[in-house]
Chains A and B, each alone.
Chain A
């Protein structure tokens, strides 16, 4: 019974994590780009009656309503079956990849141990590559099935780019596989908890800096993000989903963000220790569970307090603008999201200090701490994707191909050979 429950809950939890990241990332994208460009960003959409704006978060809701209620148009010359299948394929390929990403170390509850990832398999990197490459089909089929020349060109452009960068993507990870000697992502995370020269955590980025850079660039190209958004190029070149509207377009859009979130998770897992908290392996976390909990709650209290102060500042900044119920939103949100959690965390802190943790509670605490570390890292890399998009101009198509085949492929091969040589010498 418990095992069946766990079997169902694990994929659902992982799916929930990545689906939750979509609105957060869209919000990051809009608000972040606005602040980078000295603008205010979206703050208009609000729920009438409640007066909730949530600093532009409600725009996501408005988007959903708009996209779902829009006419689901299929062009006359489109290939109906493929036209409908393409966005599904795109989204499914992006969503399947999350299955092997570990969120925390294996959790032991009583006598049962289970892995905290959707599917308990040691396929790891192979699984990710197998399914993330399927995203190409979404692009090429959408271009082909639209029955229009521009999407076809966009699809071909996208396919060529994605296939080119697939090579560098694979090559840059081979170094990591050579060093850690496994493709199992959880195992890779566990090895990264060791120390290099007794000081630095043995993260992939320190062992494989070149591999990391290559992987990062290839991941940008693979997810069709700027500066490699040849596929879409919303401002100048016509992309593969020109003929799509409504929910089908939403699927492409969400597929892009899910792919981004998953690439961020893979980067974190391979190069930044995954769920590892630096200098604190799982056993240490479990042994010092109460101290960990104290630090965690303290950090939450300080963070929530800072967030509340920030919200209040935003509130004072916005106060003069709204003459309706929205003007109180800032204070209420500051209390609900900032000061309330801070006080709760402090109360929890006093309880933790006065009690001893026993049973499987330390294990849960360790898992939660690792999950939080993982989330913070993933969120940071999601932000890097957005940050780069609003910093760099788009590459020209021949530059993209030049970079892919003449710079990154040789560098990846060189990196692989050097890594293999060093590995032979020092093992």
Chain B
């Protein structure tokens, strides 16, 4: 062997238990004298099921693997600690700032806070917001949306509409995310749904 491995030193102190000191010797110039392989460290001691003769039969490795799987099975059968969440019945934890389904804020009198300025529809990268504005009788209000539809299938939940809104009329803090529907049309949420079909106890 070209290099020598000093194992007596390596086993000395407990802190250096696993370290092996390797003394490197430069490879000989004449390659005919070179050994067939160069080890940068001592060849690892194979565990019993990895030794060549036994490995040929596959059997020890198979038994070791089956031990692992049955261990998992017994652990799960007895302790019942699988991380699976039983989804529709148990909702996963949703962080406070999770961008969920939109809601339209209301004024104190219950009318929609949105002024139909089209900022959100302009900012929307997927073009999922559809607004039709109309005049209202209140002289202090310039205009308001007559139609405010969001297509939930187009929406990418980027939150740009919330950032763009100058009067805090649209928020994405409901914690609701769309579930399965029968028809595509059901994913188009109109103004009424966005204003009223929201969970209680949301911040004003």
Binding site for B on A (CB under 8 A): 32, 35-40, 213, 310, 313-314, 317, 320-323, 387-388, 390-392, 407
Contacts and interface: CB of A to CB of B under 8 A. Distances in A.
Nearest to A44: B86
Contacts of B76: 35-36, 38
B85 to A, nearest CB: 9
29 contacts: A32-B73, A35-B72, A35-B73, A35-B76, A35-B77, A36-B69, A38-B76, A38-B82, A38-B83, A39-B84, A40-B84, A40-B86, A213-B59, A310-B77, A314-B80, A317-B80, A320-B90, A321-B86, A321-B89, A321-B90, A322-B89, A387-B66, A387-B70, A388-B62, A388-B66, A391-B62, A391-B66, A391-B68, A391-B69
B166 interface: no
A251 B66 CA distance: 30
B35 interface: no
A316 to B, nearest CB: 9
A388 B80 CA distance: 23
Contact of B72 (A36, A321, A388, A392): A36
Binding site secondary structure of chain B: helix
A379 to B, nearest CB: 15
Size bracket of the B interface: 10 to 19
Interface of B: 56, 59, 62, 65-66, 68-70, 72-73, 76-77, 80, 82-84, 86, 89-90
A106 B90 CA distance: 56
B89 A323 contact: yes
Contacts of B66: 387-388, 391
Contacts of B86: 40, 321
Contacts, number: 47
* Most A CB within 10 A of own CB, among B65, B69, B83, B90: B69
A313 B80 contact: yes
Contacts of B72: 35-38
Contact of A387 (B69, B84, B90): B69
A411 B178 CA distance: 61
Contacts of B84: 39-40
A391 B86 CA distance: 26
B81 to A, nearest CB: 9
Contacts of B70: 36, 387
Given A213-B59, A391-B62, A391-B65, A36 B89 contact: no
